[in-house]
């Protein structure tokens, strides 16, 4: 999985988790489920948000170059 795909998956999981938490207003167990879904967005972010060249974490880097090695990120 590329870092771009991981960021998209992270954003989708965060949005779905938030919507499920909002639905928890009507049925309270959904609040906990939404919280778990929102926390699960950290997994692809931690595993795949890395530079393809030096393998260091990109963090919030949104530029097209790695802040550690300076290589272009695809």
Q: How far apart are CA 74 and CA 72, in angstroms?
A: 6
The model's confidence at residue 61, banded by pLDDT at 50, 70 and 90, is confident
Specify the higher pLDDT residue, 60 or 9: 9
What average pLDDT does range 69-74 have in this prediction?
84
Q: How far apart are CA 58 and CA 53, in angstroms?
A: 11
pLDDT in tens, 7-37: 889 899 999 999 999 998 888 888 899 999 9
Q: What local confidence, expressed as pLDDT, does residue 47 receive?
A: 87
Is 25 within 8 Å of 71 (Cβ atoms)?
no
Total residues belonging to the chain:
74
Q: The pTM is what?
A: 0.75
Q: Which residues of 1-40 are buried (b: 16+ CB within 10 A; e: fewer)?
A: eebeebbebbeebbeebeebbeebeeeeebeeebeebbee
């Amino acid at each position: 999985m590329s870092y771009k795909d991981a960021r998209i998956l992270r954003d989708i999981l965060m949005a779905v988790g938030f919507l499920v938490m909002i639905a928890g207003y009507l049925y309270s167990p959904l609040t906990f489920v939404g919280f778990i879904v929102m926390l699960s967005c950290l997994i692809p972010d931690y595993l795949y948000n890395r530079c393809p060249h030096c393998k260091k974490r990109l963090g919030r880097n949104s530029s097209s170059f790695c802040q550690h090695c300076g290589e272009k990120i695809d």
